[in-house]
Every structure is written in C-alpha cells, then in structure tokens.
C-alpha cells in the first residue's frame, strides 16, 4: 500500500462509518464504555471493522473515540487507558490487514479547557499525548481527531500527536446546521487554523447530515487549499419507540459523497447512523472519481476592530468611582418569589435615598421559584433609578446561552456584572433539581472580556463592543487558600476589574488575605452580613463552606439576654467589622436580613 497521503492524492479514499451505531444495534447499551469493549468483547469490535472493510472502506478508525483518561475515569477505567487504546489499534489492524489503513481515533476530552475551563492547554495536551502514544504502539497508520468543537482543544490534540510521531493527521471539527462550530467559530476561521496547527487533512464530521455539511465544505474550500475530509451523520436522528433512528438512506448518502468529491473532498465517510451498507454505496459512487482540482486561495487577513473597547471609567458609575479611588456602598437584595417585583423596587428606592450607591442582585441558587436576577436588575435600574450589580452564574447554562443572556442584559442597560461559577441547588422546594456547568467563572470572565473586545466566543465580531464592568467573587477564608488565590489571579488575568468578597467575620484573617493578593491590585468590595442571632451565626460557622466565624462572635451572641438583644448585637458587630474593613477596601456590600432594611441602614449609618 502507498503511504496514506500519497494514496489520498491519487484518488478519493473512503473512510468507514459509525462504530457506536453498530455496537448499539448489537445490544450494547449506551451507558457502557464502548471503548472498553476492545478488551471485553474484542471479537464483536473486530467483526464490525471487518464489515466495513468488506464494504470497501479504505480507512478504518479504531474503537477509541472516548478512550482518554478523563472519559475513561467516569467508568472507573482510567488505569486501563493504554491497554484499551493499544488493543483498539491491534483489532483494527487485524481486520484491515493490507486492505485498509488504520486510523487512531481521538475525540474530545469531555471537559472545557482554557480559556473556557480550568484545565490548562498543557494538561490537555498531556492527556492526548498519553492516548496517542498507546495508539501508536498498537500500530496505526494515521490519526483522526474528530468531533471537536473548540479550536484550543483540537490544537492541543494536534500538538500531542506531533510530539510522539510524524504520522498524518486528519483534524475534523463538528458544526451546527449553519456551518459554525458548536461554540460559534465559522469555517472561514477554523479551516485555515487547523492547517496552521499542523493537520495534513482538515474537515468536518458528525452533528449534521450531508446537505448542511456540503455547504460547510464549500465555505472551507474558499479559504484553504488543504486536503478536505467530510463524514456526515445519516441525517438527524428521530425518536421512534424510544430508539434513535437515522433516516438518510445509503443511496442518498452516496449521492452526496459524489458532491463532496466534486467540491475538493479527498476523504469521505460517515459518522453517527451510518452502516456498512452506507459505506458500500459510497464506495460504489465515488469509485473511479478523480479529486477535483483545487485552485490556490488567498486567506484574508482578519479585519481590525472597527470600534475601540470602552474605557473602564466610562463603563458605569461604579466603574468610574472605583477608577477615581472613590468608596462605594452596595446592598444585596434577593430576587422575590413569584413575578411581582414591587417590594424590591421600593426597597431599592429607599436605599438610594439613604445614600447607597449600588444594588447587588444575587443569582439565586436555592431551588425555589424566584424571579431571575437579570429581570430584577433591569426593573430596579429602570424604575428605581439606581445602578445595579448583576450576579450571573454558570450554573444550568451553556456558554452560548450565557453569551446571549449577557448581550441581552447589555442591550437593556446593565453594565456591572459579578461573575460566579454558582453551586448546585441543594435546598428549597425542588432539592432534586439538576445542575449543569458548561464552564466555570474563569471561562465566563474570559467570555465577557471577549464581548468587551467586540468578539463572540467563536472569535467573530459582534460589531459594537460591550462595555461591561467585570467583577468576580473571591473567598478570603476559603478552605484551600492557595487554590483560591490562584483562581483569583486567573480571574484577574482573564479580565476581572473588581472583586466582591464572601461575607467577612474575621478581620484579622482578611488582613492576611489582603497582603497576599495586594500585587493583583484589583479594587475589593468586602461583604458584611448582620447576623440575625446565635442560630444564624452557628449555621454560618458550621454549615457554610469556607465561612470563618470567630469564637468571640459566637460568645457575644450567646451572652445576649434575648433574641431581640442577639439581633441587635449582630448589627453592632457588623458595624464594627464594616468600620474596621473600610480603610482596607474600596467598597462595602451589606446583605439584607429577610425583607428588613433597618439592620443594613444601621450599619451604613455607623460608617458616616
């Protein structure tokens, strides 16, 4: 057999189809690790490879798409990574013999990497390198990196393969119907970059059927002269009696395979829903075809941003105050239950009259039916005439949904945001409610920073840049202070312009934290909570992760003669803490006690 790239230049090659679809059809349920079948049911995997070779596939992919350390760990199989991958390559080689090339299949890690997640690109590269090394030992002819949504991640995967060998690399992104990746990167951007990263063949696979994929291929062909690959799904699946059925017929897929070749594709195959019969008809359809001639293309240079970013001091009144070194006061108002917001608006008006600068609206984490923080912030700014700080968390939102929310919030006039990861809902009326985290607060901070530069998460222009004043949360008394400070530094690097602390009860501990983060030079707004009594204090001390309530505070509350006296003592201690903190920080944030404003106003009054 010719070397793979020479063969690909001589004639179009046909890749195999879906492995998962075939395993599922043979009774392997989707809650199992398909990759582990290389060890537990090798004959089954080998027979599927043979079916594709008999159907005319020139390339068979190893059954290792999810065989990286992260995904295998979810099945308790991380320590079998090397064995699973090496065996996967051997099984494919045994089936292919000298009739087909063996491609080591590598898919995404299943986690977000920087700038959207906490995993570094160097860590991601190490995970991919580990898998590539095992596949290489098993005897692959090339590597297929497929179904990637994030350019940073596939770049790490390409670098990992290049670090262990110089075998050909096929790099494929997965896209939506409009041709952009699932993270919003258009083919006009990802096609040239894949080639620049070092891929020998670039393309798209999975997610969509042949028709939209053909349009994506045509767009790629306009901006790169690289060899192209296309492996569409057999259409979109339909749920028929509880089973996902792909409805594109083999002859329909084959007709599009010919169109792919006429548009410059050299490697064509199938992804989810495709079977050996699909591949047989694709091979028949493209047999004897000559790859379309590719003319040289000129890659347009990215246009410079038409509008410069908004200066920090011009973003909001809060941003202007902090930039000038002025002190700000904020009060946290919890969104109401239901949809009526009149009480919160009246409270905001009253706080404005008493000299409060800002109203912070927390993104409720309790599983109860509360009005969204975004809605409350907009209503308060519009009807109470006081600036807000919108706390916005990552919980239960994917990155594109968050991007849409924040573009909408900006359009409605919000400018100050406090970005947090959020926490699972563990209390409230719906304690069984699930939680989804697509990115964490560091990734969210990177996203909003991009919006402030006039770019979306896919690197495309949004026109006028947003003018968000970006804040983040920091816990000065975290259980793991080293990790907290490290994450805080990452947030500042990502674009944080101010930080709000979790509630402070121990001034000495805060002073120690302040010395350690002083080099970051980010304005700090310290949170102070008037304790309602001994029960509130004990619950905070013993049941709130990362909260540090000194014994002397508990002792003072225990000594109170009555609940009313304990509440008054809580307010007095909050005044003392706020007064001690004021010279050290650029602002204070007070939390309301239920619907009562009196405790907060008493603390604020003691600062004047």
| Residue 560 included in any domain | no
Contact 419, 441 (CB under 8 A): yes
Helix/strand/coil percent split, the chain, to 5: 45, 15, 40
Domain boundary among 286, 304, 325: 286
Residues 253 and 329 in one domain: no
Percent of the chain with pLDDT over 90: 76
> Percentage of residues in the chain with pLDDT exceeding 70?
92
Pair 332, 447 in one domain: yes
Q: Are residues 242 and 377 in the same domain?
A: no
Together in a domain, 170 and 319: no
Domain CATH number, residue 154 = 3.20.20.330
198: alpha, beta or left, given left = phi > 0 and alpha = psi -120 to 50? left
pLDDT one-digit tens code per residue, 463-506: 999 999 999 999 999 989 999 999 999 999 999 999 999 999 99
**187 with 280, same domain?**
yes
* pLDDT of 507 above 70: yes
Q: How many domains does the chain have?
A: 2
Domain assignment present for residue 536? The answer is no
- Express each pLDDT in 294-325 by its tens digit: 665 655 545 544 679 999 999 999 999 999 99
pLDDT above 70 for 39:
yes
Strands (E) across 149-262 are located at: 169-173, 201-205, 227-231, 237-240, 243-246
Residue 568 lies in a domain: no
Does 271 share its domain with 346?
A: no
What's the pLDDT at 431?
41
282 and 396 co-located in one domain: no
Question: Average pLDDT over the chain, rounded to whole?
Answer: 91
Q: What pLDDT is stored for residue 194 in this prediction?
A: 97
Of 170 and 399, more confident: 170
Residue 122 has pLDDT above 80, yes or no: yes
- As a whole number of angstroms, the distance between CA 395 and CA 438 comes to 8
Instruction: Note the pLDDT of residue 427.
Output: 41
Summarize the confidence of residues 544-554 as an average pLDDT.
88
Count CB neighbours of 276 within 10 A.
Answer: 22
pLDDT at 543 over 90: no
Beta bridge partners of 501: 474
Tell me: pLDDT of 247 over 70.
no
Look at 387 and 367; give whichever has higher pLDDT. Answer: 387
Predicted pLDDT at 5? 97
Burial of 433 (0-12, 13-18, 19+ CB in 10 A): middle
The mean pLDDT value for 141-161 works out to: 97
Q: Are residues 244 and 388 in the same domain?
A: no
CA of residue 560 relative to chain centroid, distance: 49
CATH number for position 367: 3.20.20.220
Task: Output 553 or 427, whichever has higher pLDDT.
Answer: 553
Cα-based distances in Å from 443 to 87, 472, 521:
36, 12, 21
pLDDT at 437: 60
Domain boundary among 230, 251, 286: 286
Q: Which of 336-340, 436-440, 539-543 is predicted with the least confidence, judged by mean pLDDT?
A: 436-440
Out of 286, 303, 328, a domain closes at 286
Residues 324 and 470 in one domain: yes
Q: Is pLDDT above 70 for 153? A: yes
At 145 the pLDDT is 98
- Give the whole-angstrom CA distance, residue 60 versus residue 46: 11
Tell me: pLDDT of 595 over 90.
no
Q: How confident is residue 433, by pLDDT bands cut at 50, 70 and 90?
A: very low
Do 259 and 324 lie in a common domain?
Answer: no
For residues 221 and 294, the answer to whether their CB atoms sit within 8 Å is yes
What is the mean pLDDT of the segment spanning 355-369? 82
DSSP type of residue 411: H
In a domain, 133, yes or no: yes
Q: If you average pLDDT over residues 587-596, what whole number do you get? A: 86
| Higher pLDDT pick, 591 / 469 | 469
Name the DSSP letter for residue 234: S
Spell 191-216 as b/e; 16+ CB within 10 A means b: bbbbbebebbbbbbbbbbbbebbbbb
- Same structural domain, 356 and 500: yes
Most confident residue range from 417-426, 441-450, 590-599 = 441-450
Rounded CA separation 447/439 (Å): 10
| pLDDT one-digit tens code per residue, 211-242 | 999 999 999 999 999 999 999 998 876 654 45
Look-up of token digits 């804040």: 471
532-536 mean pLDDT? 90
SS3 433: coil
The domain in which residue 152 lies consists of: 7-286
* Residue 74 falls inside a structural domain: yes
Quick one: 373 and 485 in the same domain? Answer: yes
* pTM (2 d.p.): 0.83
**Is there a domain that residue 42 lies in?**
yes
In a domain, 549, yes or no: no
Residue 487 lies in a domain: yes
């Amino acid at each position: 057999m010719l070397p793979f790239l020479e063969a690909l230049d001589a004639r179009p090659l046909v890749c195999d189809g879906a492995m998962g679809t075939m395993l599922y059809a043979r009774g392997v349920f989707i809650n199992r690790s398909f990759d582990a079948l290389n060890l537990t049911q090798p004959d089954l995997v080998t027979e599927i490879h043979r079916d594709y070779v008999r159907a005319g596939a020139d390339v068979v992919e190893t059954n290792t798409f999810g065989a990286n350390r992260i995904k295998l760990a979810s099945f308790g199989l991380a320590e079998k990574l090397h064995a699973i991958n090496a065996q996967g390559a051997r099984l494919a080689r045994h089936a292919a013999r000298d009739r087909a090339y063996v491609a080591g299949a590598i898919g995404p890690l299943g986690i977000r990497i920087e700038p959207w997640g906490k995993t570094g690109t160097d860590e991601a590269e190490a995970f991919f390198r580990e898998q590539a090394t095992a596949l290489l030992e098993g005897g692959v002819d090339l590597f297929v990196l497929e179904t990637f949504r994030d350019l940073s991640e596939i770049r790490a995967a390409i670098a990992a393969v290049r670090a262990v060998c110089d075998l050909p690399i096929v790099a494929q992104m997965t896209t939506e119907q409009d041709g952009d990746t699932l993270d919003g990167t258009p083919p006009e951007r990802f096609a040239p970059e894949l080639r620049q990263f070092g891929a020998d063949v670039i393309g798209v696979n999975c997610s969509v059927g042949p028709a939209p994929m053909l349009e994506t291929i045509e767009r790629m062909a306009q901006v790169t002269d690289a060899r192209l690959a296309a492996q569409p799904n057999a259409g979109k699946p339909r749920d028929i009696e509880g089973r996902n059925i792909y409805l594109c017929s083999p002859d329909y897929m084959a007709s599009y395979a010919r169109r792919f070749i006429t548009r410059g594709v050299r490697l064509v195959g199938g992804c989810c829903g495709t079977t050996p019969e699909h591949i047989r008809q694709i091979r028949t359809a493209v047999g004897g075809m000559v790859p379309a001639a590719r003319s040289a293309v000129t890659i347009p240079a990215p246009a410079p941003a038409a509008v410069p970013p908004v200066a920090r001091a011009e973003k909001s009144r809060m941003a202007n105050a902090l930039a000038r070194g002025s002190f700000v006061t904020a009060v946290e108002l919890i969104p109401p239950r239901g949809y009526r917001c009149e009480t919160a608006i009246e409270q905001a008006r009253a706080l404005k009259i008493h000299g409060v600068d800002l109203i912070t609206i927390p993104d409720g984490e309790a599983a109860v039916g509360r009005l969204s923080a975004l809605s409350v912030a907009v209503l308060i700014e519009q009807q109470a005439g006081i600036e807000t700080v919108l706390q916005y968390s990552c919980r239960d939102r994917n990155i594109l949904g968050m991007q849409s929310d924040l573009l909408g919030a900006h359009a409605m006039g919000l400018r100050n945001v406090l970005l947090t990861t959020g926490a699972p809902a563990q209390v409230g009326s719906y304690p069984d409610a699930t939680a989804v985290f697509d990115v964490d607060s560091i990734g969210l901070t990177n996203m909003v920073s991009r919006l402030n530069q006039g770019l979306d998460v896919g690197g495309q222009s949004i026109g006028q840049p947003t003018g968000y004043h970006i804040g983040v949360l920091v816990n000065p008394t975290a259980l793991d202070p080293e990790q907290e400070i490290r994450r805080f530094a990452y947030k500042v690097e990502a674009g944080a312009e101010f930080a709000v602390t979790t509630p402070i009860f121990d001034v000495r501990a805060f002073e120690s934290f302040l010395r350690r983060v002083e080099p970051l030079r980010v304005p700090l707004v310290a949170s102070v909570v008037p304790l309602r009594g001994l029960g509130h204090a004990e619950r905070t001390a013993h049941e709130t992760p990362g909260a540090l309530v000194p014994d002397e505070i508990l002792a003072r509350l225990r000594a109170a003669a009555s609940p009313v006296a304990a509440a008054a003592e809580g307010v007095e201690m909050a005044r003392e803490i706020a007064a001690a903190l004021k010279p050290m920080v650029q602002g204070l944030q007070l939390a309301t006690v239920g619907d009562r404003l009196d405790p907060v106003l008493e603390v604020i009054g003691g600062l004047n």
